[in-house]
Amino acid sequence: MPLELGICMGALEFGTKKQKDNKYLIIESDKFRFKKFISDISGQDIKDHNDKPNDAIRVIRNWLSNKTTENIPSASIIISEYEKFNTYLPELCEENQWTPEELTFGEYSTLVTSWLTLI
């Protein structure tokens, strides 16, 4: 999403006060993959997730923990909960007559939200 990232970066530089207060995190499967697409973001602190959900969780959790004063569970705890959710995902999908591989973002979000209310 190079266009959207550029708009975000431009808003931080040239936007309104509210836009200048926004924060962003750039994560990629490979730390230097961006060089194939857009070289204008050299110098940004790009984090890589190596196509592994647990790495993505860790990167995002650590970034968020530096942006808030609220306590955020450790990455290992979030990963454990994510793994528990994934074991229940087929059952949750079956209850809704959905297939895990065909979930839309909205459907997946609904399942996550409903599962979180159960734990």
Handedness of CA 32, 33, 39, 42 (dihedral sign): negative
Q: What is the mean pLDDT of residues 111-118?
A: 91
The most distant pair of C-alpha atoms in the chain lies apart, rounded to whole Å, by 48
Q: What is the pTM of this model?
A: 0.65
What residue segments make up the domains of the chain, in order of their start? 1-72, 74-119
- DSSP string for 31-56: TTGGGGT-STTTTS--EE-TT-HHHH
Report the pLDDT value the prediction gives residue 29, as an integer from 0 to 100: 63
Contact 44, 26 (CB under 8 A): yes
Tens digits of per-residue pLDDT, 21-54? Answer: 777 776 666 655 555 555 555 555 567 677 889 9
The size of the chain, in residues, is: 119
List, for residues 56-80, the tens digit of each pLDDT value.
Answer: 999 989 888 988 899 999 999 999 9
